[in-house]
Amino acid sequence: MNFRAKSATFSSVKPLSHSSRTKPLPGFSLVELLVVIAIAAILGTMAVAGMGAIGSSRVTTAAIELRATAELARQTAITSGRPVELRFYKPDNSAGEYSGFRIVKINGTNETKLKLVRLPDGIAMRSSAKGSTILSSAPLTNDAAAGFIAAETRRVRFLPSGSIEGFAAGAPQTVSIARAAEPAVANELPANFATVSFDTVLGTTAVYRP
Amino acid sequence: MIQDNKSRGRTGFTLVEMLVAMAVTALLIILLTNTVSSVATSWKNADAKVTSFQASRFAFERIGRSLSQATLNPYWDYLDAGSNRRTTNNAGSFVPASYARCSDQHFLIGPATSYASAGQGWACFAQAPLGYSTNTITSKLDNLLNAVGFFVEYNNDADAGTRSLKPDFITGSKQRFRLMELLQPTESLGVYTSTNDGWITSAMGTSRQARPLADNVITLIFQAKDSDGSNLPAGALTYAYDSRDQSSSGTWNQLPTQVQVTMVAIDEPSAARMSPQNKTALQTKLGGLFIDPSKFDADLKRDATSYPDTAADPSLEAYLINNRFNYRIFNTTVRIESAKWSK
């Protein structure tokens, strides 16, 4: 308001009748503009950081969903007394990483396939040996699903004892989920990922983040 | 004049106005962020509560399912006048004097500290046909006999013998009270070659076969029960039960008819904020509880009528309430299908 008062004194030399009209345009000075831009930039940075947090929480959510599905597969195997598989599907586009999974109940040669879960756009499972032992070394099973390569489907089989078939009782087996945009470096994990870890003896699972 | 006319009412913002506006906006943003973050925190807490107790519930169901299948496979054998069985050493001089129920298997409830140094509460070890084998061909057989055991200990998920879930590339470690499961594959059963509890101590030894089943389970109590609900061995002042204890003739080579399993779990936020002092205090508290089965209810449950103030109540539940732990108590009685009880 002081600025206005000042301009009023400047204009006081002009005829009284025009004084109210002749206030000069205060507008923005360069300094003012710079201050505004600086503050906007700070807010913008914070917003972008926030968006990053949202992206990482999507990775975690996907890992939690995979873990819940694995838990369901194990429980189904124990309660039904039959093997139950958790299968991982690779999309048929060129740069695709594994991005789908589902439970398949095995009854002799009959298979009951439950609904296929697709990871949201921009999120995929890594298939490097570091972080995803299951997607690099679990047995392949020729299972077709629309949009996925049948021959690249991998499986983890839960037995009625709850354990996972075909792995030595040693290190945990893993599946890591990351944003698809993060470049895949051979045998390295990106800065932001979530790993679902499987204990092959008890069939228990856990989610780990860096 | 025209210029003046045009400029009228188009004075723009002054810096002060701009700053005031931005201050107001900033204030609104801060308020909004606060609300959002407090909602997020409470959502996270609720979620942690659900997920941590979900893992405990699954684990608890697994204990029940495994123990209900416990076997001893008892048979009748001769004893001599000194109540000894025929062995290769005394075969030449053995004179049968009586029959007795014998078994090569073992069912044991004992203090967890006897088998794990940072153990808590009571541990239970048994044999059950769970069908676990590391051999790909024999693992197709669903009823292979395994040795199985459950106990609680305070441990580090990066240590050998606990690290069956944490991948190597994940840095850092978490010390937690954990429910552990011992699972011995059929091909390495040690129960037939050992006397007493030697097979347990060796399975829990250097390359131990125990794995974490659920985090944040602070104690586990097993009570061997007769079909009428009374504790076994009859009149015992301890929770311990040993089917290989010949001095307790009532329970020698017998499975209890039922086992009452009680498990106390806390949630992950409560565990995460537990300081080393709080942890030691909790261990001390637990160490003084669950020694005498006749005091089981007083040790476990809060008694609001006798102790309106939880600080004076000696029970575990009152302690957890007082120290703001989010807890859940799981309790069930498991019927052991193959118990052949006769008095």
A117-159 pLDDT per residue, tens: 998 888 889 888 888 888 888 888 888 888 888 888 999 999 8
Give the distance from residue A147's alpha carbon to the nearest chain B alpha carbon, in angstroms.
31
User: Which of A76, A161, A177, A209 is the best mutation test for B, with the most CBs of B within 10 A?
Assistant: A161
| H or E segment to which residue B41 belongs | helix B15-68
Give the C-alpha distances (Å, rounded to integers) separating B319 from B50, B145, B182, B316.
Answer: 22, 40, 30, 5
> How high is the ipTM of this complex?
0.74
Q: Do B212 and A162 touch (CB under 8 A)?
A: no
CB within 8 Å of B337: residues ≥ 6 apart:
B68, B69
Residues of chain B contacting A32 with CB distance shorter than 8 Å:
15, 18
Q: Considering only the beta carbons, identify the residue of A2, A22, A206 that sits closest to B165.
A: A206
Overall average pLDDT of the B69-81 stretch:
91
Find out whether B288 and B121 touch, Cβ atoms under 8 Å: no
A10-50 pLDDT per residue, tens: 444 444 444 445 566 667 777 888 888 898 889 888 887 77
* Helix pair A2-11, B15-68: axis angle to 10 deg: 160
Per mean pLDDT, which of A177-181, B51-55, B104-108 is the most reliable?
A: B104-108
**Local confidence band at A201 (pLDDT 50, 70, 90 cut-offs):** confident
What gap in Å lies between CA B168 and CA B48, rounded to an integer?
Answer: 25
The two tokens of residue B136 are: 């790909």
**Whole-prediction pTM:** 0.79
